Amino acid sequence: MTTKVVYFVVDGRDEQTEFCSDDDTDDLKETFRAAAEAGPHDILKLYNKKGNLINISPRLSENAPDSRYKLEVVAAQCTGEHSTMASRLGFDLSVFDERLCALEKKVFVDNGDMPETVVEMKAKVEELKQKLEGVEHLSWLGLFKDISSGTSLKPFWDKQKSLKKSEQHSKRVFQKFMSMSKVQVTDEVREYLHKPTFDNWQWDESEMLILLRQMFIDLGFVTRFNIELPVLHNWLYEVFTNYNLVPFHNFKHCFMVAQMMYGLTWLIDLPSILDDIDILTLITSAICHDLDHPGYNNAYQINARTELALRYNDISPLENHHCSVAFEILEKQHCNIFRNLKRDEFRRVREGMIRCILATDMAKHNEILGNFKTAVQHFDLNNKDHKSVLMMILIKVADISNECRPMEVAEPWLECLLQEFFNQSDLEKLEGLPVAPFMDRDKVTKPSSQIGFIKFVLLPLFEALGILFPKLEPHIITPVRKALDYYTDMQNALEEEKHKKESSNSVGKHNGISNQVNGKIQT
């Protein structure tokens, strides 16, 4: 049995605890409750050193004394402002708990048996409390949007909120980026950067900026298009600052999409079939494709009638916004990596970027894939439409390519995506908006979210590209098939465990009824 030591601070006190490998979530929470001297109905919140809320679960990472977690207790008995917020949300857990405790006492005194309905009620209250512990933006103390004026939330999002990186953090990243820019990237790292197996979790933001710069150098963009390095540095940093602090569509996602596009460029030898302008367009589009993403998708923008949905008439609001931000950055002379392009070259890049970024709207997926499948039957690179749809397919593959990567890289990305989905569906429930089943935390599991997506989206897309480039089979198609097997096995295991639990409960219930009957007969 392995153990894990975790250091944390609570109420200004430094504490540490040791967990066993077979401890479950409840065991961990009870330990934290004891350290915080919290009541059984208080809500616990755990933050990492960056101030981000993290889940209390057996997967909690081990840390060191100088990187302690921060444990906070939110009292279930809310008063004042928080009580008002709870009433706005339409519930008050303290009232539920009080009524349940009173009901429990009455039942025990009068009868001695606990009715199943009371047990179910207690379980539901506990489940709701656990959700609030893990969902910061819906907790009483951290509501993401102010609902005091109703649910008609026309503004896109509040840029003063925590979506934006702090100026201090951005400055630190830029300083490290600049200091590292004088160091040459090793041949080993440059070669690793070509591979679809690249692991982003080993690199920090400054290092990712260096690697993006290396892509421009190794692809010959710096010399071919006369891009001054200071301008390239400014542009990359400005792009970095315009990616928000959201769980999935953040700067790391931008980097991973660009890295996969870069890897595909070498893997299928794109320079032999596309010209430099096209490849520059693809790499730059990949870097810019989710600029200023707020963490809420097009369905939310349209249903909530946000400023973006109104501005773009419900037509790919986010993708249009990403394009707009990309060219706003390029309008700044000190960030304009295209300023030495010829007029017709810039026009081609601009048109291509708009086309590629808009293609990442999944609402257009079937249309684009259908056009590509038709083109592949008689593919002709001299055909402008064929080349255009190929470029759209390439950026789509790069955008949703996480399952091509090793599971230790891909699975954390799935967790980030589900967190973003759950944040959105929680807000949609709060605002009375439609909720997509695949985003609902009450209906989705890891395997259920991936099996259909891999079967009906990823594999048809990747296999279509594989028809044109057979060498992709072992690099991106086979890994996706293995991912499907992995999540299918996980789903089967979950269903088997659920079946065993239901059978056990059924047997227990039957035995309980038998005991009651026997007791009455004996009486």
* pTM score of the predicted model: 0.71
Q: Which pair of tokens denotes residue 300?
A: 């939310």
The Cβ of residue 363 has, within 10 Å, a number of other Cβ atoms equal to 12
Q: Percent of the chain at pLDDT above 70?
A: 78
Q: What is the pLDDT of residue 4?
A: 82
C-alpha dihedral sign at 188, 191, 196, 201: positive
Task: Pick the closest to residue 93 from 134, 120, 56, 130 (CA basis).
Answer: 130
pLDDT band at residue 28 under the 50/70/90 scheme:
confident
Of 26-30, 204-208, 496-500, give the range with the top mean pLDDT: 204-208
Q: Considering the chain, what is the average pLDDT of its residues?
A: 85
Helix (H, G, I), strand (E, B) or coil at 248: coil
Q: What is the pLDDT of residue 36?
A: 82
pLDDT over 60 (residue 408): yes
pLDDT over 50 (residue 382): yes
Residue keyed to tokens 């929680």: 426
266-283 core/surface letters (b: 16 or more CB in 10 A; e: else): ebbebeeebeebbbbbbb
pLDDT over 70 (residue 401): yes
Question: Which among 249, 289, 293, 321 is annotated as catalytic?
Answer: 249
Cα(175)–Cα(204) distance, rounded to whole angstroms? 13
Q: What is the pLDDT of residue 93?
A: 52
76-109 core/surface letters (b: 16 or more CB in 10 A; e: else): bebeeeeeebbeeeeebbbebbeeeeebeeeeee
Q: What angle do CA 87, 92, 93 make, to 5 degrees?
A: 160
pLDDT over 70 (residue 523): no
pLDDT over 50 (residue 153): no
290-329 per-position pLDDT tens digit: 999 999 999 999 999 999 999 999 999 999 999 999 999 9
Q: Which residues pair with 14 in a beta bridge?
A: 9
Q: Do residues 480 and 410 make contact, with C-beta atoms less than 8 angstroms apart?
A: no
Query: Which DSSP string corresponds to 335-361?
Result: G-TTTTS-HHHHHHHHHHHHHHHHHT-
330-366 per-position pLDDT tens digit: 999 999 999 999 999 999 999 999 999 999 999 999 9
Order across the sheet with 3-10: list the strands: 13-20, 3-10, 69-74, 43-47, 53-54
pLDDT band at residue 205 under the 50/70/90 scheme:
very high
SS (H, E, C) 279-304: HHHHHHHHHHCCCCCCCCCHHHHHHC
Our answer to whether residue 249 is catalytic in this structure is yes
pLDDT band at residue 27 under the 50/70/90 scheme:
confident
Task: Pick the closest to residue 306 from 320, 319, 316, 317 (CA basis).
Answer: 317
46-98 per-position pLDDT tens digit: 888 887 778 888 888 889 888 898 998 865 444 444 444 444 444 455 555 56
pLDDT over 80 (residue 121): no
Q: What is the pLDDT of residue 49?
A: 84
Q: Considering only the C-alpha atoms of the chain, give the largest distance between any 2 of them, rounded to a whole number of Å.
A: 98
411-427 per-position pLDDT tens digit: 999 999 999 999 999 99
pLDDT over 50 (residue 196): yes
C-alpha dihedral sign at 53, 57, 63, 69: positive
Lowest-pLDDT choice from 21-30, 211-220, 478-487, 506-515: 506-515
Cα(355)–Cα(465) distance, rounded to whole angstroms? 18
pLDDT over 90 (residue 140): no
